[in-house]
Amino acid sequence: MAKLILVRHGQSTWNAANRFSGWVDVPLNRVGRREAMEAAKKISPYQIDVCFTSLLVRALETTAICLTECEGACGGKSPVFKHDADDPNWHGWDKYEGYKSEEIPIFTSPGLDERHYGDLQGFNKAEMAQKIGQDIVHEWRRSFSVRPPGGESLEDTAARTIPFFQNRILPHLKQDDNVLVSAHGNSLRSIIMYLDQLSQEEVPNLELATGIPIVYEINKEGKVSDKVVLK
């Protein structure tokens, strides 16, 4: 059966500082790069055929490390980032098709970006809870449908992430491709909500550690037959 490997990016500079990141494009720190390298070792037994990641650099870095530090997962193949043909800044690189049998295509999409935290972005989480109120900030962070000021709710995030999974990722799984998805806590919560058929009350409490791969077995009907967390 096809394998779907989900991995939350390694620790970022703002994860370490307990700040709301959202769409702010902060990189991995040293711990995060180590976590990504450990994730690469854990996924080495799996042959990766295609990869999907968000547009944010912490997910892109994690993707690159996972696919270049692995021993077996790449099978000697080279990961290649694919760019949007409508973006004029890629100098025609989108037209490169290359030797597909020797490459792992990496597709980037805003559909996998982290939840947008709006006016909270950049602020320390504990300080905001002290300033505004623990219950209010907890509701902004953990409820399914309540939006933080100027930002997205988890429901909003799921509304873009789940259709992207259904339309772009699931077809690869149905044709027996092994897929790596490198993304974020909330975009991955949305995908797991869909795969595990979690309720709106269950999904906000789902905790995802940075750099820990989750492997699903997906049958030809697109249904989950097994799941393992590679701690």
Which residues have C-beta within 8 Å of that of residue 74, sequence separation ≥ 6? 48, 67, 68, 104
Catalytic annotation on 83?
no
Count Cβ atoms within 10 A of the Cβ of residue 118 and give its class: 0-12 exposed, 13-18 middle, 19 or more buried: middle
Is the distance from CB of 118 to CB of 22 less than 8 angstroms? yes
Single-letter amino acid code for the residue at 92: G
- Residue 91's CB: how many other CB atoms inside 10 A? 9
Catalytic residue among 9, 83, 172, 184: 9
* Active-site hit among 61, 69, 114, 152: 114
At CA 96, angle to CA 107 and CA 23, rounded to 5?
A: 30
Nearest to 222 by CA among 163, 186, 169: 169
Question: Which 3-state string (H, E, C) describes 174-187?
Answer: HCCCCEEEEECHHH
Q: Are strands 78-82 and 103-108 parallel, antiparallel or unpaired?
A: parallel
Catalytic site includes residue 114: yes
Q: List active site positions.
A: 9, 114
